[in-house]
Amino acid sequence: MQVQKIIAEYFKQHQYELIVNYALCPSDKGQYHGAKILSPLLQQRALNFQQAEYYLVVPFIRPLKYQPVSRLMFAVQQCAEKLAHIAQQSDLEIAVADISSTIVWTASTPLMQSKQRPLHFMLGAQWLEETIGTNAFAQAKEKLKSVCVMGNEHQLSALRDWICYAAPIIDPISQTLIGIINLSIRSEQHNVLGTLAVEQCAIMIENEIRDQRQHCLKIDTRSEIKIFLNNEALQITPQQKEIICILAMHPQGIELNQLHHALYGERKTRIDTLKAEMGKIKRILRGCIKPRSYQLLLHVEADFLKIEHALDSGQIQHAQQLYQHNCLANVRSPVLAAWRSCLISRFTTTLQQKKSQPWTEQQYC
């Protein structure tokens, strides 16, 4: 099969994994053939096989092990209950994507979810115009205004029973695009108020982003770890800085025993010592740590997590631009030290695959 030959040809040449389903039609309609590929270029190649009665569903990028909580995600989490209620009441699917058009949050009824899942309308699906053609995510991102894409306007045949309304999410302070929100319904549910509805959802998230500006924690790991609360440098100990970095790696929270192991490893340190440190950090962060689960309750921007996110989403050049410094050097935490080693290894492997000069610890660390 010619498509499989293209897959084999590019399988070893690219550095992030996409999962794509091919469906034979009409003779073998309904029989799906899963394939793992590593090439964004391959997606475009596969689209050219439409004349050979193949079609491509939305590419899926494997989610991060540690998903950094971006300004967008923090705002969406605060609005999640309201957005989920809208999805339930209106029997539609709501999805939020980041600036790479990768879905990072969804809400829908069970029935809508079962209909949308085969199309990869789910976490990790990447809705780029260059890979799947016309779609609402891509249109809203390009035009920076709300759009409605009717069923037959979708280039991907699998989406032609759906109507999608999308709107850009703009950071109200910097006035830059930080995400896209999309409402999807079946064609027979079309409503002229759909565009207005998606605009109101975008405004809800933007208002939450504006409120976030009151409390923001920034972590800079160049040369030495620096922590800033609302742009004010915190005068804290190296160990307290490492604790905050570990908390940032666990946006959903971390139990005290797990935190103890991540910070000290095999070093013999009483857990009461860590409890005392957590009490001090909570006061320093003005109470923005959830008790027991030890979850940071404020927006976090950590450069080392942005690097990992860029790598996992395939933005290799952006990752290189971010990682031009001595990231997390001289840390004592075994978890942070292991993370740093893995990052260096990933960069080296990635650039070797691209037949470029490999990154080494001596050059960049």
Question: Which phi and psi (to 5°) does residue 197 adopt?
Answer: -65, -45
Count of other CB atoms within 10 angstroms of residue 94 = 24
The CATH class given to the 71-212 domain equals: alpha beta
Nearest to 245 by CA among 302, 174, 327: 302
Residues in the chain: 365
Place of tokens 């003005």: 286
- pLDDT per position in the chain (365 positions), as tens? 443 444 344 333 333 333 333 332 333 333 333 333 333 434 443 443 333 233 345 666 655 444 555 778 888 988 999 999 999 998 899 999 999 898 999 998 888 877 776 676 788 888 888 888 889 999 999 999 999 999 888 888 778 888 999 999 998 878 899 999 999 998 888 888 899 999 999 999 999 888 766 678 999 998 889 999 988 999 999 999 999 999 999 988 999 999 999 999 999 999 999 999 999 999 999 888 888 889 888 888 899 998 888 887 777 788 888 876 678 988 999 999 999 998 888 877 877 776 554 444 444 44
Instruction: Check: CB of residue 101 under 8 Å from CB of residue 136.
Output: no
Residues whose CB is less than 8 angstroms from the CB of residue 56 and which lie 6 or more positions away in sequence, other chains included: 20, 21, 22, 43, 46, 47, 131, 132, 156
**Residue ranges of domains in the chain:** 2-56, 71-212, 216-364
Tokens 């609402």 correspond to 136
| Dist CA 241 CA 344 (whole Å) | 21
The full 3-state SS of the chain, as one line of letters, equals CHHHHHHHHHCCCCCCCEEEEEEECCCCCCCEEEEEECCHHHHHHHHHHHHHCEEECCCEECCCCCCCCCHHHHHHHHHHHHHHHHHHHHCCEEEEECCCCEEEEEECCHHHHHHHHHHCCCCCEECCHHHHCCCHHHHHHHHCCCEEECHHHCCCHHHCCEEEEEEEEECCCCCCEEEEEEEEEEHHHCCCCHHHHHHHHHHHHHHHHHHHCCCEEEEECECCCEEEECCEECCCCHHHHHHHHHHHHCCCCCCHHHHHHHHHCCCCCCHHHHHHHHHHHHHHCCCCEECCCCEECCEEEEHHHHHHHHHHCCCHHHHHHHCCCCECCCCCCHHHHHHHHHHHHHHHHHHHHCCCCCCCHHHHC
C-beta pairs of 148-155 under 8 Å, 24+ apart in sequence: 148/194, 148/195, 150/187, 150/190, 151/187
Q: Which CATH number applies to 216-364: 3.60.40.10, 3.40.50.980, 3.40.50.300, 1.10.10.10?
A: 1.10.10.10
Contacts of 279 (CB under 8 A, 6+ apart): none
